[in-house]
């Protein structure tokens, strides 16, 4: 008669039995999908420009003997671009490992075609996509490894090495008299670029002052890209991710929003460092 009934106040209640379950998430899967989305956004950002340039390419065929006929075809560059977008979209949502591997391979092959095709080889969007898809192909191959902490750590190191190399390449390419004097950036941005930063500067400063600003702006870009390229990969994972994401976003936000087509794949790649955990 004195036995406690279920739910009776006299029965001790375990806190574990009433506490809500802790939300679990797979860091490796999140990283994989984040990187796919970064590349996808970059290519979609390029869509309008690509469509217009493809129309021109079809209307006015070019023929450079350096490129084989396959890599001169307008159909090839269009199929490669669409295939890359489709494979990225599918890869971002599928949970099937064979499909993830297949999609990663398609993205890499499609971006390779875009990097060597006559109609797209000189577009930096496809270069950054290619490097990111190469990393993604490596990462998806190791997603099933038992030591996920190690996979994320290595993935973050590889990601910041790639970002460092690209930034260093950009910095080294600008170590010229024209960039150091600011003439290149003045002609590209300060003279008549219709962008909020440069519109604001032209409204408030005279021609000579704009020239001086362009000089120091250009020198800042050269130095920052060079220093980041040399040292970013040496930073701890999360510090490197923070610096890289802020730097890459600032390039587009303060220069040209169209540059997000080049940078979103690198932003997603750089953000891998945020998911690294300490080795136990």
Determine the pLDDT at residue 11: 53
Which string of DSSP letters, residue by residue, matches 148-197? HHHHHHHHHHHHHHHHHHHHHHHHHHT-SHHHHHTHHHIIIIITT--SHH
Determine the pLDDT at residue 10: 54
Which string of DSSP letters, residue by residue, matches 110-134? HHHHHHHSTTTTT-HHHHHHHHHHH
Task: Single out the residue of 259, 265, 227 nearest to residue 245, CA to CA.
Answer: 265
pLDDT in tens, 135-151: 999 999 999 998 999 99
pLDDT in tens, 109-120: 999 999 999 999
- Mean pLDDT value of segment 117-142: 96
Half-sphere exposure of 22 (CA within 13 A, CB side): 3
For residues 185 and 168, give the distance between their C-alpha atoms in angstroms, rounded to a whole number.
18
Name the more confident of 9 and 209: 209
pLDDT in tens, 32-75: 999 999 999 999 999 999 999 989 988 887 788 889 999 999 99
Per-residue pLDDT band at 21 (split at 50, 70, 90): very low
Per-residue pLDDT band at 14 (split at 50, 70, 90): low
Q: 211 exposed, middle or buried (CB, 10 Å; 0-12, 13-18, 19+)?
A: middle
pLDDT in tens, 78-109: 999 999 999 999 999 999 999 999 999 999 99
* 52-to-83, 156, 248 alpha-carbon distances in Å: 18, 36, 26
Q: 180 with 218: CB under 8 angstroms?
A: yes
Q: 28 exposed, middle or buried (CB, 10 Å; 0-12, 13-18, 19+)?
A: buried
pTM: 0.88
- Which residue in this structure is represented by tokens 């009776």? 8
**Where would I find the H helices in the chain?**
15-18, 27-45, 47-59, 74-93, 97-116, 124-142, 148-173, 177-181, 183-185, 196-204, 207-231, 237-253, 260-270
For residues 188 and 158, give the distance between their C-alpha atoms in angstroms, rounded to a whole number.
33
Name the more confident of 123 and 10: 123
**Is residue 247 predicted with pLDDT exceeding 70?**
yes
For residues 119 and 193, give the distance between their C-alpha atoms in angstroms, rounded to a whole number.
25
* 96-to-86, 92, 275 alpha-carbon distances in Å: 16, 11, 22
């Amino acid at each position: 008669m004195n036995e406690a009934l279920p739910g009776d106040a006299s029965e001790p209640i375990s806190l574990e039995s009433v506490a809500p379950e802790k939300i679990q998430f797979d860091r490796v899967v999140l990283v994989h999908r984040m990187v796919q989305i970064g590349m996808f956004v970059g290519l979609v950002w390029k869509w309008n420009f690509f469509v217009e340039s493809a129309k021109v390419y079809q209307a006015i065929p070019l023929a450079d003997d350096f490129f084989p006929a396959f890599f001169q075809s307008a159909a090839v560059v269009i199929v490669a671009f669409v295939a890359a977008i489709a494979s990225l979209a599918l890869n971002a949502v599928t949970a099937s490992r064979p499909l993830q591997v297949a999609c990663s391979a398609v993205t890499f092959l499609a971006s390779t075609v875009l990097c060597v095709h006559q109609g797209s080889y000189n577009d930096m969007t496809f270069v950054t996509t290619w490097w990111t898809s190469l990393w993604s192909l490596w990462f998806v191959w190791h997603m099933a490894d038992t030591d996920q902490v190690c996979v994320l750590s290595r993935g973050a190191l590889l990601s910041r090495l790639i970002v460092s190399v690209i930034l260093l390449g950009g910095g080294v390419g600008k170590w010229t008299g024209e960039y150091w004097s600011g003439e290149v950036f003045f002609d590209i941005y300060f003279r008549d670029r219709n962008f909020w930063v440069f519109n604001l500067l032209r409204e408030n400063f005279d021609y000579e002052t704009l020239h001086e600003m362009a000089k120091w702006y250009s020198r800042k870009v050269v130095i920052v890209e060079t220093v980041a390229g040399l040292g970013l990969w040496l930073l701890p994972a999360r510090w490197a991710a923070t610096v890289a994401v802020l730097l890459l976003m600032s390039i587009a936000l303060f220069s040209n929003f169209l540059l997000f087509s080049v940078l979103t794949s690198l932003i997603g790649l750089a953000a891998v460092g945020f998911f690294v955990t300490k080795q136990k």
